[in-house]
Amino acid sequence: MGGIVIIDFIDMYKDENRKAVLRQLAGSLEADKTRTRLLGGFTSLGLVEMTRKKKQKAPGPDAPDRMPTMQRIGGEGHRG
């Protein structure tokens, strides 16, 4: 996976929780051999933005035209 990555942390309003998530995410990204960069903290919409350098080539002509659909994740009222 490469390019711009947007992570949506739904309903995370407490500043202490946001800081803890950013610390954990930054620590986890240090172990990633691919160049990855967090673009600041949380946006006003509760999103975290990051970039990640793509290491693999784009899919070739034999790749499927469509990717499998993701299944629903989460509890009542959430879409995955």
Q: What pTM value is reported for the model?
A: 0.60
Per-domain residue ranges of the chain: 3-52
| pLDDT score, position 21 | 92
| pLDDT tens track for 61-73 | 666 666 565 555 5
| pLDDT tens track for 29-57 | 888 888 888 998 999 889 999 998 877 66
What is the distance in angstroms between the CA of the first residue and the CA of the last residue of the chain?
Answer: 18
| pLDDT score, position 80 | 41
| pLDDT score, position 24 | 92
Identify the CA nearest to 48 among candidates 4, 80, 3: 4
More confident residue, 18 or 73: 18
Q: What is the DSSP letter of 45?
A: T
Q: What whole-number distance in Å separates Cα of residue 35 and Cα of residue 32?
A: 7
